[in-house]
């Protein structure tokens, strides 16, 4: 079945009590027990399960070709719970330019608790291999990465992880399952900030972890979630499932526009460099061609000539691009990432991240042209 069809039908069905094509929102926090003390409908309490949450988890597991999914109240909660499912003394390998929120949770919460970690350039296979220790239990990658759009070879790093008896988790937020299927390339887990492209409308926060096969780490993640309660609301699940229906058309349109804008920005004298894996001069272009499906996503970054001052000045001049964090919605946004990240970030101070929305690409190019000026 093609993914466009899967997106419309996965996790959805006709409501048996009303015949409604759109599922109701089940706001109940508690569910009736049977006379024998059992739970005949399978639900006990909102923290442990909910029909809307189950629908979303079923859809995401199918879309990523996994066997099971767990959805969370945010993408950060999803990643944090996966890391927390490891044991004190275990070792994690993660990208040196991993999303700064993950760096914060590793350095400020999990390392004091006893988790060991090493940050490396995961695009360098030799560096990943060198970083692996006897106690390495998880390798975490983002590809493309946020915000520098680096490409990691999923299949090769998965092989290294499995040789070391470790798991590979791939953050697939930027490409979405429309453009990349990490489990098909050997990853054991896929992570999503469903806030971004999956929900797609900048109106709901969520996250997910999808597992390829049943395994002890995913079972521990589910235990932690059930006890700790890092769950999304029924309405959040309902909104995300609604957003999935248009994911393919949104992502393909945004990707097409992003490529056109990236190619145009390459020619502009005010731009030092464009970071986008769909450009033939991108260091990861050949790998992206192998593991991405037909396009390269709606996110790109630019290095503005003149440093931080020029980059920040540009953000004040756009009219269609809104200065805002996050990405993946229908409105185009841009953000100076270094100023929002932690001190000591590896993000260049002249980098602006552009999330391409659903506006016409020529209108967005015109907006960037007037904001950049002629130099």
171 catalytic, yes or no?
A: yes
Cβ atoms 278, 295 nearer than 8 A? yes
196 catalytic, yes or no?
A: yes
Q: Which of 322, 321, 304 is nearest to 313 (CA)?
A: 304
CB atoms closer than 10 angstroms to residue 15: 12
Identify the active-site residue in 53, 181, 196, 212: 196
Identify the active-site residue in 47, 133, 242, 252: 47
Identify the active-site residue in 43, 99, 197, 276: 99
Measured CA distances, 222 to 48, 50, 227, 250 (Å): 9, 14, 9, 31
Cβ atoms 61, 214 nearer than 8 A? no
Q: Is 69 helix (H, G, I), strand (E, B) or coil?
A: strand
Alpha-carbon distance 57 to 63, whole Å? Answer: 10
Pure H helices in the chain: 3-9, 51-63, 75-84, 100-105, 111-113, 125-131, 154-163, 176-179, 216-228, 234-244, 247-266, 285-291, 307-315, 361-372
Identify the active-site residue in 55, 171, 236, 367: 171
236 catalytic, yes or no?
A: no
Give how far the C-alpha of residue 274 lies from the chain's centroid of Cα atoms, to the nearest Å.
21
Give how far the C-alpha of residue 145 lies from the chain's centroid of Cα atoms, to the nearest Å.
9
Q: Is 299 helix (H, G, I), strand (E, B) or coil?
A: strand
Token readout for 368 is 């960037």
Q: Which of 142, 150, 149, 187 is nearest to 168 (CA)?
A: 187
Active-site annotation, residues: 47, 99, 171, 196
């Amino acid at each position: 079945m093609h993914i466009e069809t899967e997106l419309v039908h996965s996790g959805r069905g006709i409501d048996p009590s009303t015949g409604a094509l759109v599922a109701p929102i089940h706001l109940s926090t508690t569910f009736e027990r049977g006379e024998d003390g059992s739970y005949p409908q399978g639900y006990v309490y909102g923290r442990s399960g909910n029909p809307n949450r189950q629908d979303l988890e079923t859809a995401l597991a199918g879309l990523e070709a996994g066997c099971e999914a767990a959805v969370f109240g945010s993408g950060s909660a999803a990643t944090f719970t996966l890391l927390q499912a490891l044991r004190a003394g275990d070792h994690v390998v993660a990208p040196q330019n991993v999303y700064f929120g993950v760096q914060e949770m590793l350095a400020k919460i999990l390392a004091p608790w006893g988790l060991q970690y090493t940050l490396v350039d995961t695009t360098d296979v030799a560096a990943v291999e060198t970083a692996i220790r006897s106690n390495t239990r998880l390798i975490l990658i983002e590809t493309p990465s946020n915000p520098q759009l680096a490409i990691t070879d999923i299949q090769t790093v998965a092989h290294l992880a499995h040789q070391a008896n470790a798991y590979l988790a791939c953050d697939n937020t930027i490409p979405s399952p429309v453009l990349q299927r990490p489990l098909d390339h050997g990853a054991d887990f896929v992570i999503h900030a469903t806030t971004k492209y999956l929900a797609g409308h900048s109106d709901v926060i969520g996250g997910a972890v999808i597992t390829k096969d049943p395994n002890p780490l995913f079972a521990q993640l589910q235990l932690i979630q059930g006890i700790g309660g890092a769950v999304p609301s029924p309405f959040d699940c309902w909104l995300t499932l609604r957003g999935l229906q248009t994911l393919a058309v949104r992502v393909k349109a945004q990707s097409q526009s992003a490529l056109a804008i990236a190619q145009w920005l390459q020619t502009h004298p005010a731009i030092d460099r464009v970071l986008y894996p769909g450009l033939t001069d991108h260091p990861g272009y050949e790998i992206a061609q192998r593991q991405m499906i037909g396009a390269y996503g709606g996110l790109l970054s630019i290095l503005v000539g003149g440093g931080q001052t020029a980059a920040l000045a540009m953000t004040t001049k756009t009219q269609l691009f809104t200065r805002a964090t996050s990405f993946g919605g229908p409105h185009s946004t841009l953000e100076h990432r270094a100023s929002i990240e932690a001190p000591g970030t590896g993000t260049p101070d002249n980098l602006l991240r552009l999330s391409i929305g659903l506006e016409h690409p020529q209108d967005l190019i015109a907006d960037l042209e007037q904001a950049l000026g002629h130099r």
